[in-house]
Amino acid sequence: MAAKAPVDDKMFNGAQKSGRDKGSTSAKGTANGDAAEQSGEESDDDADDHVPEATTGAREDGAKKKKNKKKKPKKKKKKAPTVQTEPPSVLITQLFPNNNYPKGEEVEYKDDNRYRATNKEKRHLDTLDDDFLTDYRQAAETHRQVRQWAQKNLKPGQTLTDIANGIEDSVRRLVGHDGLSEGDAIVAGMGFPTGLNLDDIAAHYSPNAGCKAVLQQNNVMKVDIGVHVNGRIVDSAFTMAFDPMYDNLLAAVKDATNTGLREAGIDVRLGELGGHIQEAMESYECEINGTTYPIKPIRNISGHTILPYSIHGTKSVPSVKTNDTTMMEEGDVFAIETFGSTGNGRCHDQGEVSHYALHSDAPKVDLRLSSAKSLLNTIKKNFGTIPFCRRYLDRIGQEKYLLGLNNLVKSGIVADYPPLVDKKGSYTAQFEHTILLRPTVKEVISRGEDY
């Protein structure tokens, strides 16, 4: 709610009104009082001499009044901030004017595609869609700044709800869209609900209203953040652990993800890429509480292509070697993500659902439930096909929507994504980056100094 700006108390130093406003009489009397006492009387000549003096004095007083009036200081224009705050609140567009956002990590293609870096035709193609790169780089810089703040400030003892809200509110502030007005979240904001997945939960958990879960010292937490600008989604994740006992688990998954990023490229077969990822991850083991565990890739969670306004495209990047001969192609956008586990290396659906998304090819269904019809209209206008969670519905004022939401899921109009969980008592980790397979180079758009 807008409030009136407080008015500053200003001290005006102009001359105060006095009896002098009535002419020169007072001025004359005051000016000559001492002289009258000394002489005892005044001659006519003296009186004549005093008239012009009084007049002159009045003029001088007037001049002094004008001189004494201080000019109102000109309001200085506030300089645009040049550094980010904590928590993040400065628009990325202010920190990087003229759309001059940092590039990701640019890597030249290998072998038969090495020519692309200098080929004139490919270099020309690379310049045809400036908006594509501008949107992606803005979203990526937002992601970097928010996640690096989170890495420094997330501590045991904080609730998962506070953590999720802190990350998501920061993203919205940095892109300049709070998502509260109709359609605002479709312009820019969260690419999907923030995943805060503890221990054996590998993916797709975000706190719903009433969640009282608290981050503990012995937890392994996967933080999965999506940021979009005009539907260009940057998908990147990291894992936090506060006990060095889990270091090898995190190192295995980070190495596997970096291997996938290194080997990915135009004409690479996805099944073979999975083999490289598997080899890297399985070379690690981790000792936890005196027991040594081999690190296994979670084979039924994969990386994926990203399409405009759609987090999951049509191609999948496995974490193990497969017979999939599908190739990566010029122009593809991939989320290269790997999950490692001390458990079975295979996840199942378990727990309360928080993640949902409208199907892009949703069937036309005659909805009989009025609450489902109303909610579908709200979802289309506020999120489109961008994934959302129950908290997002809460914050735009939706109430008693679960019956309608479940009806939309059963009708095949909205997809639900239950938490993916490995063996009870196991620990899982995740690292992820988004890459752009540009005509000239591979750009790891979400790469940062942190990972």
Distance CA 52, CA 431 (A): 92
**Per DSSP, what are the bridge partners of residue 223?**
196, 238
Report the SS3 class of residue 67: helix
Tokens of 87: 């928590």
Catalytic residue, chosen from 135, 168, 199, 337, is 337
Inter-residue contact 173 to 94 (CB < 8 Å): no
Tokens of 249: 């688990």
Distance CA 448, CA 451 (A): 6
Q: Is 224 a catalytic residue?
A: yes
Cβ-Cβ contacts under 8 Å for 89 (sequence gap 6 or more): 170, 173, 174
* Per-residue 3-state assignment (H helix, E strand, C coil) for 68-129: HCCCCCCCCCCCCCCCCCCCCCCCHHHHCHHHCCCCCEEEECCHHHHHHHCCHHHHHHCCCC
- The DSSP 8-state label assigned to residue 182 in this structure reads T
Q: Is 337 a catalytic residue?
A: yes
Cβ-Cβ contacts under 8 Å for 348 (sequence gap 6 or more): 420, 421
Catalytic residue, chosen from 332, 432, 433, 443, is 432
Amino acid at 138: Q
Q: Is 348 a catalytic residue?
A: no
Distance CA 436, CA 442 (A): 6
Tokens of 291: 């027991």
Distance CA 272, CA 154 (A): 37
Instruction: Give the CA angle between residues 438, 444, 450 to the nearest 5°.
Output: 165
Inter-residue contact 293 to 271 (CB < 8 Å): no
Q: Is 282 a catalytic residue?
A: no
Catalytic residue, chosen from 177, 304, 355, 433, is 304
Q: Is 355 a catalytic residue?
A: no
Q: Is the peptide bond before 308 cis (omega within 30 degrees of 0)?
A: no
Catalytic residue, chosen from 228, 312, 355, 433, is 312
Inter-residue contact 208 to 159 (CB < 8 Å): no
Q: Is 304 a catalytic residue?
A: yes
Question: Which residues are known to be catalytic?
Answer: 224, 235, 304, 312, 337, 432
